[in-house]
Structure 1
Amino acid sequence: MKTTIGVVGLSHLGVIWSVGYASLGFDVVAYDRDPVPVDLLNAGNVFIPEPGLEEQFQGARERLTFTKNAEDLASCNYIFFARDVPYDEEGRIDLTEIEILWDNIIPHLSSGVEIIFMGQVPVGYTRKLENRIHQARPDLKFNLIYRVETLTISQAVPDFLHPDRIIVGTKQSGDTLSNGMTSVLIDPFKCPAAMCSYESAELAKSAINIYLATSVTFVNTISDLCEKVGANIQEITAAMKLDKRFSPYGYWRPGLGFAGGHLERDLMSLTKLANENDMKVELLDTIITNSKQRYQWLKAAMDQHIFSKKERPTICLWGLAYKKGTDSLHNSHCLKVFRDYIGKANIRVYDPVAKLPESFNGVEVYNDKFDALKDVDGLIILTEWDEFKTDDPKPFRDNMKDPVLIDGVHMLGTTIQRDNTVKYIGMGVPQHV
């Protein structure tokens, strides 16, 4: 029997999953009740700015069907529910859209369908969902599993094609997958698979991100100590990466606080879960507090090295996006700078991908990063775009009045850090005198 895969939800996750499975040779029917992403994709417009996605889409186009009709999913043997879960600025999730989509698709599920649910939901949601489907369709034969999704923004295509592992939650610990499910979910990816219960898989998703958040908090703390005692965080982390107990692929750079909403969402979810179970988890409180305080490093550096020297300076921001590889400004650090300094400085910005809303006032947008530097009083680097990496101080000397370089993401190399003709301020890096 021909295998047709359904995908529900055409946000970032759903688009990656639809195009990804089509690129593996499967026919894919992708549904969303929102006509905008459906119409864009049917017109050939891949609106997700992921490296390699456009090429993958073009190569698999003939195997992709995008639809606004939930009944089209009736032809699918396997359905991935891949709608990203919305969340607010504080990381609180909103399941409204998720619930509406389930209401739309449950009436059209075919007997024998296997459903793979992906999404950042509270622990216990998948088990309640299974009961809900049973109640709505008592005679429907189906199987529901939870798959932990860990795509990284800007690396989503290779993350999909070459996952480190696949974590699967089933109704009971010890349950096995059908041969058909294995051929779709596991076999194409040639990686280890971890089987567990619904609840273990749901909690594993949050636990992965909280572990990463803990490592960021650790590096931030050591970075602060470096600034107090004259040590260098870059030298320390380089040495630590040589220890076989630590992964060199971990989070080793101090930062300005969490942005983008993903880690914030997991922190909020686990804090809520702990409170509901009468647990006090000091670790989560420490992580949240540390993240909220990180922006103060940037503000102190700007006030001391730029604003104390001139009443209304001209400053340049390199980077609007909350991280490289995305155009999203969700919780981006640039928004905090705008909040505190619009009206106090002439602000120029450059980002290779992200754009400010047209209605945004008080900021001058440039299309060339060095044009934006001309005669400015200070540069602030906020996003780790590869094109910002350099160890050559000359462009800064040539373009800036008195080069003050505040590097919030460690893009500038040691030659610049030690050059007497520029003033380099980096997190956890001693200032050269």
Structure 2
Amino acid sequence: MRVTMIGTGYVGLVSGACFADFGHVVTCVDKDASKIDKLKAGEIPIFEPGLDQLVEKNVKEERLFFTTDPTDAIKTADAVFIAVGTPSRRGDGHADLSYVYGAAEEIAGLMDGYTVVVNKSTVPVGTGDEVEAIIKQTNPEADFAVVSNPEFLREGAAIKDFKVPDRVVVGTDDERAKEVMTELYRPLYLNETPILFTNRRTSELIKYAANAFLAVKITFINEIADLCEKVGANVQEVSRGIGLDNRIGKKFLNAGPGYGGSCFPKDTLALSKTANDVGAPVRIVDTVVEVNANRKKAMATKIIDAMGGDVSGKTIGILGLAFKPNTDDMRDAPSLDIIPALQEAGAKVRAYDPESMEEASHSLKDVMFCDGPYHALEGADAMVIITEWDQFRALDMERAKSILNGNVVVDLRNIYTKADMTKRGFDYTSVGRP
């Protein structure tokens, strides 16, 4: 089938490359000429493990194309995916749908024959109705269907998530659209992937409900971690104890500095705003948003307390800046709250992250970005682990101790144990463990 992807951001690029790898012919469209030029030259604008090889392979085999001109790509497409950004709107927290609506208007003017227009972007309930109205108004003679097909891609594992998903959700009542979507995802039948067909509004809500529920789990275990610290319990053992219950599950029960990234912060906020607008507030989600924001700020206090309550004039070596490992995404990363708070308290910061330092440099000022983990620790009064990259899990602690100016270690991801670190002579602080 012929597929067009409007937008070459994280979702659009990964989805386009994976559809091409299924055997479909995919054209990715973006207005950013420099980004398209780089993609044509084989330069991937985001870090996602395996994506560069996947793009290179499918470009070489002439199934994946990039362009700034949507004309032919939309006219010849069986399905056109809208995969543009929906950031939180300044001032009120609602999802900014201007890019979605702009894409819909552009698609409407170029469609030729029956076309399935697919909302892949994360959008509030009812957006599909608005997209349909825009297309009808722009092109009254258009033969089309608007479908909701939310993405469930984890940054750092997106290719696997697309090719071996837990489920595929498709929102449409149009029988022809169901046939097109079934054919697009037919390669997944070999994996017996559940494909849930539902109405469009239900599909749109599934995405927000899924992300909000995961955010609730993260925030719940973070509050339990605070309780563990007060009563002398171990949050990791609590997590294991409740996670072995199949009704709860073990995923997203790792205590830490709070959630961040491109999805959870904006999606919980957008869901909350939508719910309040229709008079059905989701109070649990409202609380999660507030608690998570406060938690990221509290982590700076935790570090300062571990350093004796005063960091003025001291140097802190930060390991990890991205909101999670295997990505360069800095959106709403805990480090963006923690580091400025430490600087405001008078600390100097040296930092290292394997992938996100260039992106971080746009948001973090007066930080010395280093060449490696040990470079970040040279002369520092404390080592702080914010992101649990694999290369931080087995550091040479003797080497670290020899180059640190102090012996304080604050592990916000619980990747080491207190017994081992104390044995090595460190003053060790973790999250939710005695």
TM-score past 0.5 threshold:
yes
Structure 1 partner of 2:355:
353
Structure 1 partner of 2:87:
86
Counterpart of 2:426 (choices 410, 422, 426) is: 422
Structure 2 partner of 1:43:
41
1:255–1:294: 8 Å Cα contact kept in structure 2?
no
1:14–1:82: 8 Å Cα contact kept in structure 2?
yes
1:392–1:415: 8 Å Cα contact kept in structure 2?
no
Structure 2 partner of 1:4:
2
Query: Secondary structure of 2:330's match?
Result: coil
User: Is 1:338 aligned to 2:339, yes or no?
Assistant: yes
CA distance in 2, matches of 1:309, 1:416: 26
* Distance change >3 Å, CA 309–CA 264, structure 1 → 2: closer
Counterpart of 1:385 (choices 384, 389, 397) is: 389
Structure 1 partner of 2:54:
56
Structure 2 partner of 1:140:
142
Counterpart of 2:408 (choices 384, 397, 404) is: 404
CA distance in 2, matches of 1:233, 1:374: 31
Q: Which amino acid is 2:144 matched to? A: F
Structure 2 partner of 1:376:
380
CA offset at residue 334 of structure 1? 2.1
2:171–2:198: 8 Å Cα contact kept in structure 1?
yes
Structure 1 partner of 2:240:
238
Q: Which amino acid is 1:87 matched to? A: S
* Distance change >3 Å, CA 114–CA 177, structure 1 → 2: closer
CA offset at residue 317 of structure 1? 0.6
CA distance in 1, matches of 2:306, 2:179: 63
Count of paired positions: 425
User: Is 1:260 aligned to 2:258, yes or no?
Assistant: no
Taking the TM superposition and a 5 Å limit, the aligned residue runs for 1:3-402 are 3-61=1-59, 62-72=62-72, 73-87=74-88, 92-171=94-173, 177-188=177-188, 190=191, 191-248=193-250, 250-306=251-307, 308=309, 311-342=312-343, 344-355=346-357, 356-357=360-361, 361-390=365-394, 393-402=397-406
CA distance in 1, matches of 2:158, 2:363: 31
1:342–1:363: 8 Å Cα contact kept in structure 2?
no
Deviations 1:306-358 (Å, cap 9, x if unpaired)?
25366411111111112212212222222223322336122111111111437
CA distance in 2, matches of 1:136, 1:373: 59
* Structure 2 runs not aligned, ≥5 long: none
* Distance change >3 Å, CA 320–CA 397, structure 1 → 2: same
* Structure 1 runs not aligned, ≥5 long: none
CA distance in 1, matches of 2:396, 2:241: 25
Query: Secondary structure of 2:223's match?
Result: helix
1:30–1:66: 8 Å Cα contact kept in structure 2?
yes
* Distance change >3 Å, CA 229–CA 36, structure 1 → 2: same
CA distance in 2, matches of 1:155, 1:289: 28
* Distance change >3 Å, CA 335–CA 102, structure 1 → 2: same
Query: Secondary structure of 1:140's match?
Result: coil
Deviations 1:243-266 (Å, cap 9, x if unpaired)?
232323x20112222322421212
* Distance change >3 Å, CA 391–CA 376, structure 1 → 2: closer
Q: Which amino acid is 1:233 matched to? A: V
Q: Which amino acid is 2:96 matched to? A: D
Q: Where does structure 1 differ by over 6 angstroms across 4 or more consecutive aligned residues?
A: none
